[in-house]
Amino acid sequence: MREYNHKKIEENWVEKWLRDNVYEAVDFSEKPKKYILEEFPYPSSNSLHAGHVMRYTVPDVYARYLRMKGYNVLFPMGWDAFGLPAENYAIKTGIHPAKITQDTIVNFKESFLRMGYGIDWEREIDTSDPNYYKWTQWLFLKFFENGLAEYKETPIWWCEELKTVLAEEEVLTDKDGNKISERGLKPVEKKMLKQWVLKIPEYAEKLLQGLDTVDFPESIKAAQRNWIGKSEGANISFEVDGESIEVFTTRPDTIFGVTFMVFAPEHPFIKKVWDKIENQSDVNDYIEASKNKSDIERQAEKDKTGVEIKGIKAKVPFAEREVPIFIADYVLMDYGTGFIMAVPAHDERDYQFAKKYGIEIIEVIKPENAESQDEVLFTGDGVMINSGEYSGVSSEEFKKIVVENLEKQGKGNSAVNYKIRDWVFSRQRYWGEPIPLIHTEEGFKAVCNTQNIKEVNENLPLELPDVPDFSPSDDGASPLERNSEWVNITYEGKPAKRETNTMPNWAGSCWYYIRYVDPKNDNEFADIEKMKYWLPVDRYFGGAEHTTLHLLYSRFWHKFFHDLNLVPTPEPYNWRINGGILLAPDGSKMSKSKDNGIDPMELVDKYGADALRTTICFMGPYDETYPYNPNIIKTVNKLIKNVYSLQEKVSDENSDEPTLKAYHSMVKNISEMIENLKMNTAVSEIMIFINHLKKVEVIGKDIWEGFLKVFSPFAPFVAEELWQEFNGFSEWKKENSMHLQPWPGFDEKFIQEETITIPVQINGKVRTEIVINCGDTEEIVKEKALSDEKVLKLTEGKEIKKFIYVKDKIVNLVL
């Protein structure tokens, strides 16, 4: 056995593949295109970690397969380079975040190269590069010009430790119900602040409908639908103190059951009618108390609390009745209108509240088929009762009647509400794209008109100034605020100030898949013809953590751009899969603090990138989470050693029949499996085939050639080495690369057997096996089965009621 030296082999090919950009994607090629995308990494720490190689290996195998199948494959990579870790590290060390980021990118790229990922490096992008963020800023100005970016005072999540505001999507709930930041898991609180927001709710309907047109897993679609949170109902105006105030309800059919109304404590109307309130101090106490309660406390309360506002009443339209009004913090200011019609008989929360405060409960719907209704509370659909002339009508029908009537009176209309909130888009941090706006006396001005390319090129990129101190301020101002030279400018002859907040680090990743299509364009964010050729992304691989962050945000940007005719497709990604997580060998999560992780570059040193890649593929399905088993890579390394030695058995002689059969069925199976991303079973096919080859004396040339091809996506280095040697290429030429060769075919005739063994069942239980010729008629099989010794014994004296034969598969006798 000759010596397999993975280091020597892998170093050699890394350099040659890069120099000649073997994995080049060609714009406007005649070949059919495939755009295979994986979420680009945030460059932090020294090199790729286990999670990265877990994410990137399977897409690379798939992209390599498609390339060999004759597709023009775009498989790009770049750096999501703005963000907090580099900035925090910079604050600690005093080294500029740009410097830290660039150093890290160098290390990351080296890791990518060592892993043998087949990337077109001519398309590498970096979101912190001014040539890139020039266009991120330009795209932001499109939102601004179209009224979708607004400076607005709203309740916003503030993280004291990160010293910045966060978007709704960046806030998680921990096990104890505390709200924490998505990055860093730090506590957050709600504050009223003026911030830049992007009006994603205006795209709620489009984002929802688009989900029906894309091939995403149900879990992602469900999570996004849930996040968007559409509910259909009606807006109904109630008369309160001579004024008309709207509520939103999904159940206008319960209007006869309204026995009270509730305002959220923050509702501005309270101030407006303050003079009429008889119990001002009670109301004021309640408002103050709920102000001081955190969201967590509000939720932790088992009981609903509230106070009646005495002195004012509400008039229920349609039912024409007066009801009392309360304030209670179970009504939220930022959903619906902050004012609700309460129907205790048909809403759980209203029911609890009414019980506690002894408010009247009127049942207006009873279940369709219930003989007697024990519980007062009923939240389903049914038949109207206690509703005057409408009693007996179905609640679904009554819903329509109510809305139609209110519409005629001008007191209501059917309406839709969404849970999704404005996307808070400014951050009080240094390391991000400056927002290219100017505060003037007449309001905000864009630094340029996006339509005018001359103006654009003069004013963009608005470069992030080099400041001596990039640490965040305690007062919530951006670090850029301290840089007065940069901040204070003249706009149209008058003093003005630059916007000092930066964009969140989602900004660059919202459109990076577009820039890969045309990464070096200085005059456009991307050429429309190139976008027409490459978009949309055919396969998008990434992490589950981005389901309602990046994946929703970038769909929003794309849909907006599509409405402006900037991009040719309505959706950015046609297909999506979320990858699983690699756990530590003991089944716990890998973490730096626990030091239980595995370092992929160490494994590459020890066993080779080929072994690591193949191991990752073999361990399990892409979208599953499972522990790392350190023994597998040893076995896979052995497998590769075997492959390396087996080339010595290759000869001019033809392979024998069993080898031909094993080969053709392997090619058939692996092709199907890679197509379906079942890399784990594809590797097991390779193992089965190699176990077979180890037993044979000679290997035919054609078979070996085909084997190297199917092996190459998994172990590209050793495959290239053996391919060059096998063909006797003395000098490296790009076009001779293993990885640019066509994928092998297979021939069914070798796979089909002449005789096969099939099981014979009696009453559904396997009792014996018989050997038949492929394609034998049912009569012949029946005769064979019935004359089998064991069958004779077991059927003796019994009548065979039914004979079932599934061609070439199974026989079942029913007694």
| DSSP H or E run through 280 | helix 280-292
- Report 252-311 residues binding RNA (CB under 7 A): 264, 298-299, 301, 304
Q: How far is the CB of 302 from RNA (least distance, A)?
A: 9
163-to-83, 186, 477, 755 alpha-carbon distances in Å: 13, 11, 9, 74
What mask of x and - would describe binding to RNA in positions 343 to 382, judged by CB under 7 A?
----x-x---------------------------------
Among 44, 471, 548, 736, the residue binding RNA under the rule CB under 7 A is 548
Say whether 243 sits in a helix, a strand or coil.
strand
- The DSSP output letter for 39 is P
549 Cβ neighbours under 8 A, 6+ residues apart: 169, 170, 182, 506
412 binds RNA (CB under 7 A): no
Q: How far is the CB of 584 from RNA (least distance, A)?
A: 13
CA dihedral 130, 132, 136, 141 (to 10 degrees): 60
Contact at 8 Å (CB) between 353 and 328? yes
Q: How far is the CB of 386 from RNA (least distance, A)?
A: 19
What mask of x and - would describe binding to RNA in positions 629 to 648, judged by CB under 7 A?
x-xx-xx--x----------
Strands 33-38, 539-543: pairing is parallel
Please state the length of the chain.
815
Strands 650-651, 699-700: pairing is parallel
- Report 651-690 residues binding RNA (CB under 7 A): 678, 680-681, 683-684, 687-688
- Report 310-349 residues binding RNA (CB under 7 A): 329-333, 335-338, 340-341, 347, 349
Q: How far is the CB of 760 from RNA (least distance, A)?
A: 9
- Which CB, 484 or 755, lies closer to RNA? 755
Among 62, 65, 216, 227, the residue binding RNA under the rule CB under 7 A is 227
564 binds RNA (CB under 7 A): no
Tokens 């590498």: give the residue: 124
Among 249, 428, 724, 737, the residue binding RNA under the rule CB under 7 A is 249
What mask of x and - would describe binding to RNA in positions 21 to 40, judged by CB under 7 A?
--------------------
- Which CB, 47 or 615, lies closer to RNA? 615
512 binds RNA (CB under 7 A): no
714 binds RNA (CB under 7 A): no
Contact at 8 Å (CB) between 189 and 158? yes
Upper half-sphere CA count for residue 789 (Cβ side, 13 Å) = 0
- Which CB, 356 or 532, lies closer to RNA? 356
Number of residues that bind RNA (CB under 7 A): 83
- The DSSP output letter for 241 is T
What mask of x and - would describe binding to RNA in positions 416 to 435, judged by CB under 7 A?
-x-x----------------
| H, E, C per residue of 100-147 | HHHHHHHHHHHHHHHHCCCCCHHHCEECCCHHHHHHHHHHHHHHHHCC
Question: For residues 576 and 568, what is the distance between their CA atoms, to the nearest angstrom?
Answer: 19
- Report 165-194 residues binding RNA (CB under 7 A): 172-173, 177
- Report 741-760 residues binding RNA (CB under 7 A): 757-759
Say whether 182 sits in a helix, a strand or coil.
coil
- Which CB, 173 or 727, lies closer to RNA? 173
Among 102, 620, 645, 726, the residue binding RNA under the rule CB under 7 A is 620
- Report 776-815 residues binding RNA (CB under 7 A): 790, 794, 802, 804, 806, 809-810, 812, 814
765 binds RNA (CB under 7 A): yes
**Which residue blocks in 426-544 are alpha helix, DSSP H?**
453-459, 484-487, 506-509, 512-515, 528-534
Among 238, 248, 326, 561, the residue binding RNA under the rule CB under 7 A is 248
Q: How far is the CB of 382 from RNA (least distance, A)?
A: 17
Please give the structure tokens belonging to residue 629: 């088993």
Please give the structure tokens belonging to residue 552: 């929703």
| Nearest in space to 801 (alpha carbons), one of 792, 812, 809, 791 | 812
- Binding segment (CB under 7 A) for RNA, from list 135-143, 456-464, 745-753, 764-772: 764-772
Q: How far is the CB of 38 from RNA (least distance, A)?
A: 20
- Which CB, 227 or 553, lies closer to RNA? 227
Question: For residues 51 and 468, what is the distance between their CA atoms, to the nearest angstrom?
Answer: 35
Please give the structure tokens belonging to residue 481: 């605020």
Question: For residues 487 and 482, what is the distance between their CA atoms, to the nearest angstrom?
Answer: 8
725 binds RNA (CB under 7 A): no
- Which CB, 532 or 589, lies closer to RNA? 589
Q: How far is the CB of 526 from RNA (least distance, A)?
A: 32
- The DSSP output letter for 648 is G
Chain center to CA of 178: 24
Q: How far is the CB of 324 from RNA (least distance, A)?
A: 17
Among 95, 222, 370, 780, the residue binding RNA under the rule CB under 7 A is 222
Q: How far is the CB of 639 from RNA (least distance, A)?
A: 8
Question: For residues 301 and 303, what is the distance between their CA atoms, to the nearest angstrom?
Answer: 5
Q: How far is the CB of 299 from RNA (least distance, A)?
A: 5
574 binds RNA (CB under 7 A): no
Among 473, 763, 777, 787, the residue binding RNA under the rule CB under 7 A is 763
Question: For residues 2 and 616, what is the distance between their CA atoms, to the nearest angstrom?
Answer: 26
- Which CB, 527 or 808, lies closer to RNA? 808
Residue 564 CB coordination number (10 Å): 13
| Nearest in space to 658 (alpha carbons), one of 686, 708, 699 | 699
Contact at 8 Å (CB) between 671 and 746? yes
Among 250, 279, 521, 773, the residue binding RNA under the rule CB under 7 A is 250
245 binds RNA (CB under 7 A): no
- Binding segment (CB under 7 A) for RNA, from list 450-458, 542-550, 700-708, 770-778: 542-550
Residue 683 CB coordination number (10 Å): 25
- Report 189-218 residues binding RNA (CB under 7 A): 217-218
